[in-house]
Amino acid sequence: MALLRPQILFPLFAKATTLPGIGPRLGQLVEKIAGDKVVNLLWHLPSGLIDRRFSPKVGDAPPGKIATLVVDVLAHAPSPPRNKRIPYRITCGDETGKIALVFFHAQEDYLMRMLPAGEKRVVSGKIELFDGKRQMTHPDHIAPLHQIEDIKRVEPVYPLTEGLSSKVLDKSIRAAVALAPELPEWLDPAYQQRNGWPSWKAALSAAHAPASEADLSPTTLARQRLAYDELLSNQLALALVRLKSRTRRGRTSIGDGALRKKAEAAMPYRLTGAQRRTLEEIYADMAGENRMLRLLQGDVGSGKTVVALMAMLGAVEAGGQAALMAPTEILAQQHGETLRPYAETLGLRLEVLTGRSKGAARAEILADIARGAVHIVVGTHALFQKDVEFHDLALAVIDEQHRFGVHQRLDLADKGNGTDVLVMTATPIPRTLALTTYGDMAVSRLDEKPPGRAPVDTRLINLERLDEIAGGVSRAIGSGAKVYWVCPLVEGSETSDLAAAEDRFVHLKERFGAKVALLHGQIKAADKDAAMERFAAKNTGCQILVATTVIEVGVDVPDATIIVIEHAERFGLAQLHQLRGRVGRGGKPGTCLLLYAGPLTETAKARLSTLRDTEDGFVIAEEDLKLRGGGEVLGTRQSGLPDFRLADIMVHGDLLAAARDDAKLTIARDPDLETPRGQALRTLLYLFQQDEAVRTLRSG
């Protein structure tokens, strides 16, 4: 079934540079804050407003207020040629008095053109008093008289980026809203009526034309309607992907338990109750006729890798292959090292495949995977490249699911026939947010820690005490400890005082010499490996690893007992929790030092205090959601959680629940979206660029 974007939406999916006033240079700035298409500007809602309707006579204009004035341009007084620090002044006035328009670093020809002497002009800006005389510095608007009504309005104020003026952005967003067509109604009529919501176009127009501060609230009818549309598109997309996964023929994987029994006997610890319960759920899914699609949520150090190993051994026992996909080469290599001893003990072949696997060695591994000689493949996104073919992929395990998109999950599953999928995350996700990304999956939780995980002593310390910290680190490494030192930036910046990994590396190397290694995302892959290996191995003399958050996920060095995190106030709570999970892994107690630059905001103080007071990742995640809202709850914009533009999970939680119910009911009644409402919902999916759902519909 061909399914193409409806023609009615074509104008909204044109490049933003087709809008008035946006050329290639400004287009890059618009793309940075909103996106590169016209539709992206529709979702860029105002965060404030300026009321320009006040239009007094010059003599009545009160200082400190925004006013829109009609003035006669009387005389220009340019800056002296040798002293550009003296501003360019233009005297204007009406029958009640005079006002000076003041411009610094002015272009005389531009001002002569905009404000020709002897003509009337409309100017709008803040009235000031200087030496007892009225003036307006750099008016926000200068226009001929016939444009007065365009200026005398309540002007929305939009979030900006450096180099992009509010005037240009306002103009382009007004043009974008004017292009928005009347669309077929996709809301359930009774639900829409009960909430008193306007049509989509009316809601959009109202949201971009606030008349008062109250109109900026996410609880206005217009903003509620738009938030619901976004949430409904999200839930409908998940429901369609889930439906496709369910209706695809699954496979029955039932092993005899022999490999799993041997592996368990070789483990240094007994499985926890939570691990056993989770494995029973996974084995039941794998034995069923439908494809497994299960999310395994486990806090830092809860033993997810062991669960993944046991699940993969179940697939191998049943005659299939298993794959484990990790988001970074470091983590893929590490999983390979952790799992390889078990594979060797059991007489199985395990291979690691990343973007770095090259040439003849790669070709040989690919050939062996294709003929079934490799039982378990560990790798990065290289696993779902076209040239990777499996003999019989029974189970795909995806680690740190939030780093991958839904389509990547499907691409890997498509490598096999009815492949079961287990996705894992160590990032505890509050239930509300789990619905927005993982609503299409069954969920298991590992809520116990295995033995051998020591508690981590977390302390908040002002950055001013940096020398003391370095002294403490010196004593710790003297007694054999290993230390992570985490910085928020890779390299220093003139515009930021945040700590940079490269600067800190130089500083610590002066003091500790070869004991220090450096690791960040911009280092060559081979150098990354070398740094990690030096730090992880015993007797290399490397005891301090200076790094960015590249070590956030999965890095496992049992001897590391201290982690120092600079500018902790700039990180997300869940991200700090992940970083803290790098220590205390080898049975020895860990210490986490959160260095902050004072003074802290109340929110930052609450976040860091939460981290100090609890090690429960789920408590931390819920608190993070409360303090910061859903958009940044993982502490990184690349989290894979939907970055909602219109919906605020903390405010619109009830709408999320309603959208989920609506989507489930719709799919139950009209799985192919063929009814009139179904057709309108297709338009909604396209409008919010839910490409996976559209692809699911197209492929049937």
Q: What is the pLDDT of residue 635?
A: 34
SS3 325: strand
Asked if 487 contacts 551 with a C-beta cutoff of 8 angstroms, the reply is: no
H helices within 116-208, ranges in order?
A: 148-151, 166-179, 189-195, 200-207
A 10 A CB-CB count for 289 gives 9
Q: Tens of pLDDT along 667-684?
A: 999 999 999 999 999 999
The secondary structure element, H or E, covering residue 656 is helix 653-669
Structure tokens that stand for 51 in this block:
């009321």
Q: List, in order, residues 6 or more apart from 160 with CB less than 8 Å away.
A: 33, 166, 169
Cα torsion through 381, 384, 390, 392, rounded to 10: 100
Q: What is the pLDDT of residue 559?
A: 83
pLDDT over 70 percentage in the chain:
88
Q: What is the pLDDT of residue 497?
A: 55
The number of C-alpha atoms within 13 Å of 668 and in the hemisphere containing its C-beta is 6
Q: What is the pLDDT of residue 221?
A: 97
State the Cα–Cα distance between residues 167 and 143, nearest whole angstrom.
12
Q: What is the pLDDT of residue 644?
A: 83
Dihedrals phi, psi of 131, to nearest 5 degrees? 55, 35
State the Cα–Cα distance between residues 463 and 402, nearest whole angstrom.
32
Q: What does each C-alpha distance from 352 to 70, 336, 371, 374, 598 come to in angstroms? A: 73, 6, 16, 10, 45
**Listed residue (559, 547, 566, 595) closest to 479, CA to CA:** 559
Q: Tell me how long the chain is.
A: 700
Q: What does each C-alpha distance from 163 to 26, 27, 158 come to in angstroms? A: 8, 11, 14
Q: Tens of pLDDT along 575-633?
A: 888 888 888 777 788 899 999 988 888 888 888 888 888 887 777 777 776 665 544 43
Domains and CATH numbers, the chain: 53-152 (2.40.50.140), 258-446 (3.40.50.300), 456-614 (3.40.50.300)
A 10 A CB-CB count for 122 gives 23
Enumerate the β-bridge partners of residue 75.
Answer: 91
**Listed residue (526, 573, 518) closest to 548, CA to CA:** 518
Q: What is the pLDDT of residue 636?
A: 32
State the Cα–Cα distance between residues 399 and 405, nearest whole angstrom.
12
SS3 360: helix
Q: What is the pLDDT of residue 449?
A: 73
Amino acid in the structure at residue 694: V
Beta strands 154-157; 133-137: pairing state:
unpaired
The order of strands in the sheet holding 544-547 is 456-462, 590-596, 560-565, 482-486, 544-547, 516-519
The number of C-alpha atoms within 13 Å of 68 and in the hemisphere containing its C-beta is 21
State the Cα–Cα distance between residues 296 and 444, nearest whole angstrom.
5
Structure tokens that stand for 628 in this block:
């910061």
What is the DSSP code string of 410-478?
Answer: HHHHTTSSS-EEEEEESS---HHHHHHHHTTSEEEEE-SPPTT---EEEEEEEGGGHHHHHHHHHHHHH
Sign of the alpha-carbon dihedral angle for 33, 39, 45, 51: positive
| pLDDT average per 10 residues of sequence, the chain (700 residues) | 74 94 90 91 94 96 96 94 88 96 92 96 96 94 94 93 88 95 96 97 97 93 97 89 69 91 92 94 91 82 90 96 89 90 96 85 93 95 85 91 59 80 78 63 78 80 90 90 86 58 88 88 79 82 86 71 90 82 80 90 84 81 66 37 75 87 93 94 93 62
**Listed residue (443, 456, 444) closest to 300, CA to CA:** 456
Q: What is the pLDDT of residue 440?
A: 56
Burial of 583 (0-12, 13-18, 19+ CB in 10 A): buried
Q: What is the pLDDT of residue 638?
A: 32
